[in-house]
Chain A
Amino acid sequence: MKIANYELIFQKRTFSITGFRAIAYRILFVIFGLMTVGFIFLLNGINPLDLFFLSNRSMLRIILILLPHTFVSFIPLLCIAIGLAIPFKARIDNIGAEGQFIMGMLAATWTAMEFPDLPSIVLIPLMFLNGFILGAIWALPVVFFRAKGGFQGADVVVSFLMVFPALYLMQYLVSGPWRDPATGFAFSKILPESAQIPGIPIEIYVPFLDATWNFDPVHISIFLVLIIALVTYYYLFRTEEGIPKTKIGYEINVTGKNPLAGRMAGISFFKVILISMIISGGLAGIAGVAEIAGNKLRLTVNSAGYGFTAIVVAYLGGLNPIGIIFSALFFAALISGGTAINLTGLPVSALDMFSGIILFYVLLSEFFFRYTIKWRRS
């Protein structure tokens, strides 16, 4: 690229940035993102330093006070983002996790309404199983169109389009067949007790905040998703002496970096995309079950949009489960800190701008990880 007398040179990096340097750079880019957001707030007459840190109602303070709430959004974000990291690593862009997440919620509701008399110990696992299956099924069209069709971008298009039938199906069900006659709203019935995932009944008084952390709304699925994160990390992502533990982990790496060479060596593209999309859709489905059975307890016409936010979470986490745990925490905190933005008088949608800008910087950092940028006089 030429600008006046200077030439801007993008060079592909020979040695990728890894380890602590990668983490440091990611954090740096997030800070850039926060600064950009801060600048926009400044233009709106709000002192970003007050908003972020200093005032009594700063985001930081609110996030800390609402820490248990942070964990509520952390659960679905983590679970979906882990699922997304797998196809992303194989260079399959599943941007429709939202639809798979919704299908998980539907599966949970249906199962709970259909078998209310089963004991929890059977019913809840059954809900998770159905959520996984339905989420995975919702991801399957992506597999066929991407692997068997001739269009390379089919994954993006198909996965995104699949969000809408899921959304409308949910809206139809809660305003029609599943509607709770006892309320005037488009709600389904509250799940039967046996289908509710219990919360964590801990209360901690935090003196320096002068507030009490009430962990009750944090349901115990948090352990399930953490285990999922660690298992995925161990079997698919972690390398020992540069080699993943499992064959499929290796095949995902190869397919993501050069599917042509993979195919030449006999790696089936179809198999890799099938497995990664099943896991991906399935985990989004599991997140949907956890959300319904632990948090919302009934289906409504809206979904929280975790499926989209999780895309940013997955990338900010460097497509690595351990990193994703931290980036999911960060975004969950942002979501609960959104209350603070509300208090400033800006619309809540300012929060979407927040994650949009962070995504922008995260993608910029991905570019920076792959390329070096130099100036040269021409």
Chain B
Amino acid sequence: METVLEMQNVCKTFYGDGVEIHANDNVNFSLKQGEIHALLGENGAGKSTLVNNLFRRPDSGTILLRGKEVELSNPIAALRHGLAIARQDLSKSLIERHTVAENILSISEGFFLSLSRIEREITSALNKYELGDIDPKTKIWKLSGGEKQRVEILKALITDPEIIILDEPTSMLTPPEIVNLFRLLNSLRSQGKSIIIITHHLEEAINYCDRITVMRHGEVVATLETEKEKNAWASEEEGIRHLATLMVGKEVLYELARKKMEPGKLTAEIQGLFATNDMGDTVVNGVSLQLKENQILGIAGISGNGQQELVEAMLHWRKVDSGKVLIHGKKIDDVSIVQDITGKSIREIRDLGIAYIPEDRRKALILDLSIRENLILNSYRKSGGLFIDQKSIVNVTEELISIFKIKTPSALSSVRSLSGGNRQKVVVARETTLAPPEGRKLILIAENPTFGLDVGTTQFVREELLRLREEGAAIMLISSDLTEVLALSDRIAVMYKGKIMGILNSQEATREKVGLMMGGSTLQEAIE
């Protein structure tokens, strides 16, 4: 089949944090007419950078469209050549304060624009592509993550391009929506369109894509023809393992050993919590949960369904509209002490032995201070009075650096000088060693703790969570990575639109059930 798009020796370098990042290093890539081509790779492999090169000039390299060299120096030029993209970072590509139609208007051409015509076209395109009901007059910020993602996809399709590029379009879609999307892509393919899709879900690549290109560290590692490979693989699992090995460059995917453990005492309880987001919409909608010692409670859900606000409300970072967060203390005279922490200061809450690994690293790290100063952020005020106990702190931080294998020449180097994985190790080291008060066990809230980490550090962090669980900690693991939730949790609560759709224990939780519930099915519906 004819090659419609070819990128030859494409290079793109970023300059950040004192290092040059060769995000694309002499990359060659080709797309054939009428194929779905998957682009795989770990976070940071350079996939987005590669496709973005079609909408701005790369540092060097040539781009050929149907054999002819073209210069695509901006998105409009690309559009005129029949290329369109749904970008990964929606916060950059959709304007939150504008409506759906206004956002799509921004890419329409011509001098006279009619908003109502565009609105009509959007509605009919949504129907045609079966992308669901979205009112073109809604402001973007009012949409859920999945709806935003569908708007972004529509934005790419509505210009009827020959070459469609989708950068992680499924990260916020529910499993049924994903199936729908691929059905749509299939029909576009049969109309002769060519599609590049970037995804983290290897099974999607294997099941729906004609060819697969794997990238690692800014280079292309391999391009496979799916049909051919399928003959060589014994099963889908083997295919996934093969692709994963290509992605990370070594045999990985070790099993996590989750020991069987009886749940311990109830240590924290959320009762009927309501909270609103920054825009004033209620996004935590009567959540009730229980945390027990020796247990990991997984909160599954597509990100943006209120998980973030739930945690913020628990830690008094966000106002609680109604409901309570209770911490159960040790028993005195057979009566257990219950403390209501709703409305207490963050400091009082944290001093009860509540550790927190936020998804947003800016909340956890002070990049311009030393590793040592970052490690003592919880413990510096342990000593009484006005002074810091410098001696003991020096010893403790040296120990943490060696136990957690933080790679650095010195405890006094800035955290900025560390790699992403080692930065996260600093957070994990600090938070998991937070000392709860006498008689209490640690409560740990971890939000997507392995997001964006390399395989080795991901494994390390997960093992650390399991070790804490064995030591008696109660852990609340909020993760949009279903595999992670399923592998680690003793119980899984699925969150959808601010509500808990149901709580499953690890035996009954299957990918399918949890997936359905993430899309809004109740526990009952999911079981049937």
Q: How would residues 221 to 265 of chain A score, 1 for a CB under 8 Å from any chain B CB and 0 otherwise?
A: 000000000000000000011111111101001100110111111
Query: Is B387 a contact of A246 with CB atoms below 8 Å?
Result: yes
Scan residues 342-359 of chain B and give those whose CB is less than 8 A from a CB of chain A.
345-351, 356, 358
Nearest-Cβ distance from residue B403 to partner chain A, whole angstroms: 19
Query: Is A246 a contact of B388 with CB atoms below 8 Å?
Result: yes
Q: Which of B315, B372, B416, B417 contacts A242 (CB 8 A)?
A: B372
- Give the contact-size bracket for chain B: 35 or more
Complex CA gap A247/B348 in Å reads: 17
Query: Is B394 a contact of A243 with CB atoms below 8 Å?
Result: yes
Query: Is B362 a contact of A243 with CB atoms below 8 Å?
Result: no
> What residues make up the interface of B, taking CB atoms closer than 8 Å to A?
15-19, 59, 315, 317, 345-351, 356, 358, 362-370, 372-373, 376-378, 380-381, 386-388, 390, 393-394, 411-414, 416-417
Complex CA gap A257/B417 in Å reads: 15
| B-binding segment of A9-17, A32-40, A147-155, A162-170 | A9-17
Query: Is A263 a contact of B346 with CB atoms below 8 Å?
Result: yes
Q: Which of B17, B347, B356, B367 contacts A258 (CB 8 A)?
A: B367
Complex CA gap A13/B417 in Å reads: 9
Chain A interface secondary structure, helix, strand, loop or mixed?
mixed
Complex CA gap A13/B416 in Å reads: 9
Complex CA gap A267/B369 in Å reads: 16
Complex CA gap A265/B381 in Å reads: 11
Query: Is A11 a contact of B15 with CB atoms below 8 Å?
Result: yes
Supposing A250-B373, A264-B346 touch, asked if A257 and B362 sit within 8 A by C-beta, the answer is: no
Q: Kindly list 11 other residue pairs between chains A and B, CB separation below 8 angstroms, not including A240-B390, A258-B367.
A: A11-B18, A14-B17, A16-B368, A242-B412, A253-B366, A257-B368, A263-B346, A264-B315, A264-B346, A265-B377, A266-B347
A378 CB-CB contact with B under 8 Å: yes
Query: Is A261 a contact of B366 with CB atoms below 8 Å?
Result: yes
Closest A residue to B393 using CB positions: A243
A214 CB-CB contact with B under 8 Å: no
A268 CB-CB contact with B under 8 Å: yes
Complex CA gap A266/B346 in Å reads: 5
**Number of A positions contacting B (CB below 8 A):** 33
Q: Which of A241, A247, A248 contacts B372 (CB 8 A)?
A: A241
Query: Is A247 a contact of B363 with CB atoms below 8 Å?
Result: no
Closest B residue to A250 using CB positions: B380
Supposing A14-B417, A263-B346, A264-B363 touch, asked if A257 and B369 sit within 8 A by C-beta, the answer is: yes
Q: How would residues 342 to 378 of chain A score, 1 for a CB under 8 Å from any chain B CB and 0 otherwise?
A: 0000000000000000000000000000001010001
Q: For the complex of A and B, list the 8 residue pairs with the smallest distance between their C-beta atoms, beginning with the closest.
A: A266-B347, A14-B18, A258-B366, A14-B417, A265-B377, A242-B412, A257-B366, A257-B368
| List of A residues within 8 angstroms of B364 by Cβ | 261, 264
- Most chain A CB within 10 A, of B17, B19, B362, B366, is at B366
Query: Is A245 a contact of B387 with CB atoms below 8 Å?
Result: yes
| List of A residues within 8 angstroms of B381 by Cβ | 247
| List of A residues within 8 angstroms of B373 by Cβ | 242-243, 250, 253-254
Query: Can you give 27 A-B contacts (C-beta < 8 A)?
Result: A11-B16, A12-B16, A14-B18, A14-B416, A242-B373, A242-B411, A243-B373, A243-B376, A244-B388, A245-B390, A246-B386, A246-B387, A246-B388, A247-B380, A250-B373, A250-B380, A253-B369, A254-B369, A254-B373, A260-B362, A261-B365, A262-B377, A263-B346, A265-B346, A265-B377, A266-B346, A266-B347
Nearest-Cβ distance from residue A290 to partner chain B, whole angstroms: 27
| List of B residues within 8 angstroms of A248 by Cβ | 386
Nearest-Cβ distance from residue A257 to partner chain B, whole angstroms: 5
Complex CA gap A132/B387 in Å reads: 24
Complex CA gap A268/B348 in Å reads: 11
Supposing A14-B416, A258-B366 touch, asked if A250 and B388 sit within 8 A by C-beta, the answer is: yes
Closest A residue to B346 using CB positions: A266
| List of B residues within 8 angstroms of A247 by Cβ | 380-381, 386-388
> What residues make up the interface of A, taking CB atoms closer than 8 Å to B?
9, 11-16, 240-248, 250, 253-254, 257-258, 260-268, 372, 374, 378
| List of A residues within 8 angstroms of B349 by Cβ | 266
Complex CA gap A13/B414 in Å reads: 10
Query: Is B350 a contact of A12 with CB atoms below 8 Å?
Result: no
Closest A residue to B378 using CB positions: A265
Query: Is A241 a contact of B367 with CB atoms below 8 Å?
Result: no
Nearest-Cβ distance from residue B383 to partner chain A, whole angstroms: 9
| List of A residues within 8 angstroms of B390 by Cβ | 240-241, 243, 245
| List of A residues within 8 angstroms of B387 by Cβ | 245-247
Closest A residue to B349 using CB positions: A266
Complex CA gap A210/B156 in Å reads: 84
Complex CA gap A29/B363 in Å reads: 35
Closest B residue to A370 using CB positions: B368
Complex CA gap A260/B346 in Å reads: 12
Query: Is B347 a contact of A13 with CB atoms below 8 Å?
Result: no
Query: Is B370 a contact of A242 with CB atoms below 8 Å?
Result: yes
Complex CA gap A243/B347 in Å reads: 21
Query: Is A268 a contact of B412 with CB atoms below 8 Å?
Result: no
Complex CA gap A121/B414 in Å reads: 49
Closest B residue to A267 using CB positions: B347
Closest B residue to A376 using CB positions: B15
Query: Is A13 a contact of B365 with CB atoms below 8 Å?
Result: no
| List of A residues within 8 angstroms of B346 by Cβ | 263-266
Closest B residue to A249 using CB positions: B388
Complex CA gap A253/B414 in Å reads: 13
Nearest-Cβ distance from residue A48 to partner chain B, whole angstroms: 38
| List of B residues within 8 angstroms of A264 by Cβ | 315, 317, 346, 356, 358, 363-364
- Most chain B CB within 10 A, of A11, A15, A243, A248, is at A243
| List of B residues within 8 angstroms of A14 by Cβ | 17-19, 414, 416-417
Complex CA gap A262/B368 in Å reads: 13
Complex CA gap A372/B380 in Å reads: 33
- Most chain A CB within 10 A, of B16, B368, B370, B372, is at B368
Query: Is A12 a contact of B18 with CB atoms below 8 Å?
Result: yes
Query: Is A243 a contact of B388 with CB atoms below 8 Å?
Result: yes
Complex CA gap A258/B364 in Å reads: 9
Q: Which of A15, A241, A258 contacts B362 (CB 8 A)?
A: A258
